[in-house]
Structure 1
Amino acid sequence: MTDQQTLRLPALEVRQGDRRIYCFAVDGKRLHEFAAVSRIRRDDQEELHGYQRPEVSNHIKAIKRYLESPSAMLPNAIVLAFDSRVKFEATAPEAGGGYSAPGELIIPVDEELPEDQKPAWLVDGQQRSAAIREAEVDTFPVAAVGFIADDEAEQRAQFILVNNTKPLPKGLIHELLPNTKGHLPPGYARRQLPAVLMTRLNGTAAGPFYKAIATPTSPDGYIKDNSVLKMIENSMYEGALYQYRDERGGGDVERMLLHLNTFWGLVKEVFPNAWSKPPRSSRLTHGVGIQGMGYVMDKLTEDEPAEELDRGHILEKLKNIEVVAAWTEGSWHFGRDEERRWNGLQNTPNDVKWLTKGLLVMVDQNPLF
């Protein structure tokens, strides 16, 4: 039964370790009265809000058509993250082996609340819920599973874990990782600190990467986020950024940022034209160039503290590369028989290795011999 302020739904509380999940049914037409779709965005201070991917209109239309057909069925449960305003009241003792109890889920409903103040967020089922909302049907009950989360960071962690077996857009995962806490799969855990650095680089107004990295909240960026992540990860585990790591797997983020912004600021200074163009027009902003120059950073600045980086020395070495650079036109010649057209280099291990080897040779010599 419901009133204007409260929705009471029969539910089953299931105990999983020290956590509780709630299995229940609800009219899909009512989901948006209390549940918000927390689409990912950044505010003016570059703080991340939300975690959900944008709706895909064609997919929603296809589901809508199906829901309007005879005998439509959606057997998969929608997953919701509740805040502490949602309560569960048991109506009988635990049963089912002592790990479940029947009761009621009590959800406050106020349709005038803005999206970011609703008591529930959709973790999985965004497109299904949108299709139900738009479908020309009076009601459409759906199965749902909910959990009560402490904060939005925990909701992001659950969103990543729930969608771990699905092809989530990598860019969305990379942008969520910095503001996520709790257990993560090993591959994501390894990338969490690099993702923090990438996000900070993209949001540093005076930095060379400002808004240049393509992410869900920076759609006009032209440098692939994965290229920057690979560069940071390589340096963090085997290069110049390793010196800032700590025993717990974290690190001094501010000094890492200073190190990265100093070096890449000089790269931008030496190669302004190539830095301003997208990867299809410049191999400097392409994955092969970002990774290759990342290894140059490691060679020139390894074991050098961020506060003591010798800008003059780095500039001198980068200008050695400038003499032979073919980022946007021409061909690369590294004093060997092999010649490579500028746009013949691709983001493959062999091409990254070939370019890196040549760049490292050039920074160690004066090409004007």
Structure 2
Amino acid sequence: MTTNTKEIVVRALHTTQGGGVDVYAFFIGGADITKLADISRIERDAKDTLKGFQRPEIRSHVKGIVEYLNQGNVLFPNAIILAMSPDVRFVAARGSKPTGDMGISQAGTLTIPVFEEGARVAWIVDGQQRSLALAQARNSAIPVPVIGFVSDSIDIQREQFILVNKAKPLPTRLINELLPETSGILLPRELNARRVPSELCSLLNRDPHSPFHRLIKRMTDRSVSTAVITDTAVITMIRNSLNNPLGALAAYKAARANEAADVEAMYRVLLTFWSAVRDVFPDAWGCDPRQSRLMHSAGIEAMGVLMDRIYAKLSGVSEDYKTVRGELESVAPRCAWTKGHWESLGVGWNEIQNTPRDIKRLQDALVRAYANQVKK
């Protein structure tokens, strides 16, 4: 390996995957990784567009790796995965192939340009904590294995980031926020199933006409003071409706594997129902969960079950805002979101907690109240 201020040159093996994507395997000095690769932090810009994919640095984790590396002659075989731009150059080595070579890869020389931070030729997909630690370690020349694939598509980079990390302790909320921003055609079935709820959650939070506009807490919205509802609660509410055969959103799921879900129709249902919820309970809407159990995870999930019951009754009749609001108003007198008691439960309004037991009891209370009104 040779190094100068403008490029890094290494011996590498080259192969292709995924319909012609160039993939390289090579070794590099540990401290050089952060010289050629940027860390693409997940954040939103002024236009609310999601940028990057990496979670914030975990300092304690980095410190622990540095302490290990500084012990001396240590073994560090864990590969760093990079997404590399087409600016890298590979020249195959000349000569005949060894006897018995299966032809899976080709040896050669890989030249990687070195640019300023923020404009580098590669991005770290997996191994940001290790890369940061290697840059700080005393043994900066320790050879580290690297796997690099050539793609400047942020969608592909995000997909690979999710796939690499889905079996690791990656925050669920981070995956939820990234999923709607990927094309997803190569994602496993369980991740594809999580995409639609995550996409709908993002739409509800971004749309100025949505009752949830800027009220949902997302990992990239730490500075939004109006956010009071966790994205996990909203996504769970949506997922429950999709998984319920009689759910308000279930009818719009993809009927076959090669078909797409009708996300627009799902969004219209959510917009109509939750706009009516906001208007029927104006004093409870948009408040901190400590002041309103409607904004609590238990309230959001329980009201999602009531949404399914209301739409099951209205199916094939009228599902417009006025009708949905009328159905909710029939239940409103039995609700205690900000004061009083839930008479059917025998508990005060602020005694409802985010536990499976309390959520189930609250769901049952709302469904019973609605059923009793329907009978009258």
TM range (shorter): 0.7 to 0.9
Q: 2:232 aligns with which of 222, 226, 230?
A: 226
Measured against aligned partners, the alpha-carbon deviations of 1:239-285 in whole angstroms (never above 9, x if no partner) come to: 11233334445323333223212211221222233332333443222
Structure 2 residue matching 1:24: 3-state secondary structure: strand
Match of 1:90 in 2: 92
Distance 1:138 1:242, change over 3 A: closer
Tell me if the contact between 1:48 and 1:179 (Cα under 8 Å) persists in the aligned partners. yes
The reply to whether residue 289 of structure 1 matches residue 299 of structure 2 is yes
Matches within 5 A, 1:1-369: 1-14=2-15, 18=19, 20-92=22-94, 96-111=101-116, 115=118, 117-149=119-151, 151-180=153-182, 181-219=184-222, 220=224, 221-238=227-244, 239-247=247-255, 248-302=258-312, 309-334=319-344, 338-366=345-373
Structure 1 residue matching 2:41: 3-state secondary structure: coil
Q: Distance in 1 between matches of 2:259 and 2:347?
A: 39
Tell me if the contact between 1:94 and 1:102 (Cα under 8 Å) persists in the aligned partners. no
Measured against aligned partners, the alpha-carbon deviations of 1:100-151 in whole angstroms (never above 9, x if no partner) come to: 221122212222xx52x32211011111111222334553432211112351
Tell me if the contact between 2:83 and 2:152 (Cα under 8 Å) persists in the aligned partners. no
Tell me if the contact between 1:78 and 1:125 (Cα under 8 Å) persists in the aligned partners. yes
Q: Letter of the 1:216 partner, please give it.
A: M
Q: CA deviation at 1:51?
A: 0.7
Q: CA deviation at 1:302?
A: 4.4
Q: Letter of the 1:54 partner, please give it.
A: P
Q: Distance in 1 between matches of 2:215 and 2:165?
A: 28
Q: Distance in 1 between matches of 2:313 and 2:114?
A: 57
Measured against aligned partners, the alpha-carbon deviations of 1:179-235 in whole angstroms (never above 9, x if no partner) come to: 222322322111111111111111112322122222211234332222111211222
Q: Distance in 2 between matches of 1:349 and 1:14?
A: 50
Could you tell which deviates more after superposition, 16-25 or 263-272? 16-25
Q: Distance in 2 between matches of 1:303 and 1:72?
A: 66
Q: CA deviation at 1:52?
A: 0.7
Tell me if the contact between 2:26 and 2:145 (Cα under 8 Å) persists in the aligned partners. yes
Q: CA deviation at 1:319?
A: 2.5
Structure 1 residue matching 2:283: 3-state secondary structure: helix
Could you tell which deviates more after superposition, 295-304 or 22-31? 295-304
Q: Letter of the 2:172 partner, please give it.
A: K
Give the unaligned 5+ runs of structure 1.
none
Q: CA deviation at 1:364?
A: 4.3
Q: Letter of the 2:251 partner, please give it.
A: Q
Distance 1:304 1:23, change over 3 A: farther
Distance 1:229 1:77, change over 3 A: same
Q: Distance in 1 between matches of 2:83 and 2:315?
A: 43
Structure 2 residue matching 1:272: 3-state secondary structure: coil
Q: Letter of the 2:102 partner, please give it.
A: G
Structure 2 residue matching 1:81: 3-state secondary structure: strand
Q: Letter of the 1:86 partner, please give it.
A: V
Tell me if the contact between 1:27 and 1:141 (Cα under 8 Å) persists in the aligned partners. yes
Could you tell which deviates more after superposition, 162-171 or 255-264? 255-264
Distance 1:2 1:64, change over 3 A: closer
Q: CA deviation at 1:37?
A: 0.5
Tell me if the contact between 1:87 and 1:105 (Cα under 8 Å) persists in the aligned partners. yes
Q: Distance in 2 between matches of 1:73 and 1:351?
A: 50
Tell me if the contact between 1:317 and 1:364 (Cα under 8 Å) persists in the aligned partners. no
Tell me if the contact between 2:50 and 2:181 (Cα under 8 Å) persists in the aligned partners. yes
TM-score (norm 2): 0.86
Structure 2 residue matching 1:275: 3-state secondary structure: coil
Structure 2 residue matching 1:317: 3-state secondary structure: helix
Tell me if the contact between 2:115 and 2:121 (Cα under 8 Å) persists in the aligned partners. no
Q: CA deviation at 1:354?
A: 2.5
Q: Letter of the 2:175 partner, please give it.
A: I
